[in-house]
Structure 1
Amino acid sequence: MGISLEHLGDSLMEAAAKRVRDRLPALAKSKSFARRGLVSPTETTARITRYVEATSRAILPERAAARADITTGQEALIGTNDLLSIEFLEAGLLAARAVGRIEIMGTGLFGTGFLVGDRLLLTNHHVLPAPTLAGATVVTFGHEEQKFGTPSVPADFSLEPARFWLTDPVHDFTLVSLSAQSDLGVPLDSFGWHPLHEEGKILEGHPVAIVQHPQGRPKTIALHNSYFLIVDNASPDDQFCWYSGDTERGSSGSPVFNRDWQVVALHHKAVPRTNSRNEILDKFGKTMSEARYKANPDLVDYVANEGVRASRLRRAIVSAALADPAQAALRDGLIALWDSPKGRSLRARFPAP
């Protein structure tokens, strides 16, 4: 007998799987177009217009071929140029510095998070659901394989929820303050940070990159065959988006980036393919027993990844009721920082090592 999502007892995955089942045709269509370097016809004119307006303010030369001509009615047929400046790699290394591994000591549980400014770390609510976990939690930056160049020493930071703590199970995020220095005196601000901006950063079919710590391993990136697939606007599932790319347990809380290394989503669930009985299927279309599922999780056929949109996270943070005036002031300062000139410049947010 196959193991079902209900048997796993993961309510987040059950809800995500239902949302994905309701969107399987749109996901398949978007994935087909993405593999051909095209924006999906499921994309809306309104979102394309916002994207064009946002990118035209400071468009890079290699983006010119990807701009939409919204006056021709050919929005769904825009090719994406795969030629990138070599600086794309340098920018990616900068962007990855702000991503850290979260470990709940003594539990074997890991997650991922990233800095968003003013000593604040963003991750999933299901990774850090309560401030009582602070004493057992370590956030490590620089946990990376280093076969080339000068090795760096990983830096461990502690949570400081008394300074700032905001969690939201509906949007599955936790925003929490970290210590200003590591246990060895490394300053937290040396790792940079990422802002959360409003819409206009990506279109369905565009490539994404997911920087993560799968199962607590050294930092990795999902880059190949990774596409932004579909997104809903003005629906009950407005806060979610779906994309391809490999993730594993421990990847929850990872930033999902566009080609300009802007955060477009907070990753929170990989969604497995299921049959009519809600039983998990492997890559060969066969049901998986509980023992096989636990022994060989890599065999699961994942339909898509689900994340929470950066624009919706921003709105939830902006509108959150914070009873502590000091924390409310920190939140307001964070939003102002995101909207400042520094919030628009990747280089400005990452000090020279």
Structure 2
Amino acid sequence: MNVYLSPEEILRVRDAALETGLADPMVRPLLFDGILPRYRGTLPLLAAPGMQVHSDLNQMNRVERLVDGSVPLEIWLRNAIAQTTEAAALTLFQRILDDVARSAGGEPDIVAQTPAPEIKEEIVHRDDTVPFAFLRGGDAAGAAVARLKVPPYQDGEPLQPNGFPHAGTGWLIAPALLITNHHVVNARAGAGEARPLAEAGDLRLQARHTRARFDFETDDVELEEAAVSELVAADAELDYAILRLTEDPRRPVLRLAAKPLSVAEGEVVAVNIIQHPGGQPKRVALRNNLVYAADERDVRYFTDTRGGSSGSPVLTDDWRVVALHRGTRRVEDVMFQGRTTAFVNVGTQMDLVMRHLKEHSPEIHAEIAAAQHDGESVPAGGVPQE
């Protein structure tokens, strides 16, 4: 059973590992760094280095995720990239990692569009300083962001045998309403047409059994998890889902931008993403995440995200949400910071989500609109929008 990679792709990764010295038994512990030791101990040990790598890859390829929600093949590939300097192998490992991470997170396989003009060198000469209140605004915004764990169900029962939780990120859009991606709540691996959709009943069960952990900033502190009572609105095409928590967590909600983000030619706009990559403690990608392009539906930007970041808020410098991060889009001939990039990240414009809610879930739209104007939203932090 091949979960993520075809046999041909396994062979290509094995050959690249052999050519770059990653098959050396002394390197193997580095490749497994971060993978649960209990799982590592179940892998067979072979005498021949090439056979060992091939076996390791095949074994990991059969595991969708472990009990902690991690994907061993994804971690192995990230470690392989960190240990590789040879250009061709790096390109291969990065492409395979992109596919595995997107499939593991259930992110839509978005078709590349015609590249827009490259960002020019004028960004080097732009005053990139912000008021100190920017930091306070970011701290306040982070309080509204939570790590999500969504257990998969099938036919009304926990999915077996590999029904381990899928990780994602969500944030408060109203006092007891949490928004994330539909594909996070869908809790199915795969991309594009290969990604199965949970039946409606199973989707509701998965939502009700989702757990949200606010203030998750380190593994050293045990935190209570907020429970979900129901899925109140969702759309697979726009890739959003709104969950009602069983209790109001009594913390400020994130404020939505007043209008869709647009980027004029030659304009430089920075966005910030508060996220739980890989289901790990909270991280933030700040300000060098420049917007590549924006239209009525999508905002596309350069940033660092990975599986688990799905559902994160995409914020401008005044800490207002302009988009709901959902995945990655492949691009060609695009330069960023002096190097070619194979992909940009993409989020759905929140204005479009709100318009969809107004049409299809007017009660939820009204609840969110009221919360956005009741004075409980995160303060702007003193940074004007450009």
- TM-score interval for Structure 1 and Structure 2 normalised by the shorter chain: 0.5 to 0.7
Give the alignment partner of residue 205 of structure 2, picking from 132, 140, 147. Answer: 132
Unaligned stretches of 5+ residues in structure 1: 38-79, 181-186, 233-237, 276-283, 286-300, 323-327, 348-353
Q: Does 1:88 align with 2:112?
A: no
Alpha-carbon separation, structure 2, partners of 1:175 and 1:12: 17
Give the alignment partner of residue 178 of structure 1, picking from 245, 249, 252. Answer: 245
Q: Is the 8 A contact 1:142 1:155 kept in 2?
A: no
Listed one character per residue, the Cα deviations across residues 247-304 of structure 1 (whole Å, up to 9, x for unaligned) are 00010000011011110110000234589xxxxxxxx99xxxxxxxxxxxxxxx6410
Q: Does 1:333 align with 2:373?
A: no
Q: TM-score, normalised by structure 2?
A: 0.57
Q: What residue number does 1:43 align with?
A: none
Q: What residue number does 1:257 align with?
A: 315
Listed one character per residue, the Cα deviations across residues 196-242 of structure 1 (whole Å, up to 9, x for unaligned) are 3442656452111111000100000112531112112xxxxx31120
Q: Give 2:177's aligned amino acid.
A: L
Q: Give SS of 1:248's match.
A: coil
Q: Is the 8 A contact 2:328 2:344 kept in 1?
A: yes
User: Please, what is the CA RMSD of the aligned residues?
Assistant: 3.2
Q: Give 1:205's aligned amino acid.
A: V
Q: Is the 8 A contact 2:232 2:364 kept in 1?
A: no
Alpha-carbon separation, structure 2, partners of 1:122 and 1:271: 22
Q: Is the 8 A contact 1:256 1:267 kept in 2?
A: yes
Unaligned stretches of 5+ residues in structure 2: 1-7, 11-94, 152-162, 187-202, 334-338, 382-386
Alpha-carbon separation, structure 1, partners of 2:150 and 2:299: 28
Give the alignment partner of residue 266 of structure 1, picking from 324, 329, 341. Answer: 324
Task: Report the Cα offset of residue 340 of structure 1.
Answer: 4.7
Alpha-carbon separation, structure 1, partners of 2:329 and 2:342: 5
Q: Give SS of 1:155's match.
A: coil
Q: What residue number does 1:61 align with?
A: none
Q: What residue number does 1:247 align with?
A: 305
Q: Does 1:145 align with 2:218?
A: yes
Q: TM-score, normalised by structure 1?
A: 0.62
Give the alignment partner of residue 22 of structure 1, picking from 113, 125, 130. Answer: 113
Q: Give SS of 2:140's match.
A: helix
Give the alignment partner of residue 113 of structure 1, picking from 170, 173, 187. Answer: 170
Q: What residue number does 1:40 align with?
A: none
Q: Give 1:154's aligned amino acid.
A: L
Task: Report the Cα offset of residue 194 of structure 1.
Answer: 1.2
Q: Which has the higher strand share?
A: 2
Q: Is the 8 A contact 1:252 1:269 kept in 2?
A: yes
The correspondence of residues 266-345 of structure 1 with structure 2, limited to 5 A, is 266-272=324-330, 302-320=342-360, 322=361, 328-340=362-374, 342-343=376-377, 345=379
Task: Report the Cα offset of residue 339 of structure 1.
Answer: 4.0
Task: Report the Cα offset of residue 315 of structure 1.
Answer: 1.0
Q: Is the 8 A contact 1:171 1:308 kept in 2?
A: yes
Relative to structure 1, is the Cα distance of residues 133 and 208 closer, same or farther in structure 2, using a 3 angstrom cutoff? same
Alpha-carbon separation, structure 2, partners of 1:249 and 1:302: 17
Alpha-carbon separation, structure 2, partners of 1:345 and 1:143: 21
Listed one character per residue, the Cα deviations across residues 64-123 of structure 1 (whole Å, up to 9, x for unaligned) are xxxxxxxxxxxxxxxx53221111111101101100001124514100010011300000
Alpha-carbon separation, structure 2, partners of 1:273 and 1:22: 7
Listed one character per residue, the Cα deviations across residues 124-178 of structure 1 (whole Å, up to 9, x for unaligned) are 00011321103432111011039xxxx97533111111xx610011110001101
Alpha-carbon separation, structure 2, partners of 1:267 and 1:34: 27
Relative to structure 1, is the Cα distance of residues 200 and 123 closer, same or farther in structure 2, using a 3 angstrom cutoff? closer
Relative to structure 1, is the Cα distance of residues 82 and 202 closer, same or farther in structure 2, using a 3 angstrom cutoff? farther
Q: Give 1:176's aligned amino acid.
A: L
Q: What residue number does 2:250 align with?
A: 189
Q: Is the 8 A contact 1:197 1:314 kept in 2?
A: no
Alpha-carbon separation, structure 2, partners of 1:23 and 1:188: 43
Percent sequence identity over aligned pairs = 26
Relative to structure 1, is the Cα distance of residues 98 and 265 closer, same or farther in structure 2, using a 3 angstrom cutoff? same
Q: Give SS of 1:225's match.
A: strand
Q: Is the 8 A contact 1:116 1:122 kept in 2?
A: yes
Q: Give 1:84's aligned amino acid.
A: V
Q: Is the 8 A contact 2:113 2:331 kept in 1?
A: no
Aligned length: 250
Which structure has more relative contact order (CA 8 Å, sep 6+)? It is 1
Q: Is the 8 A contact 2:146 2:213 kept in 1?
A: yes
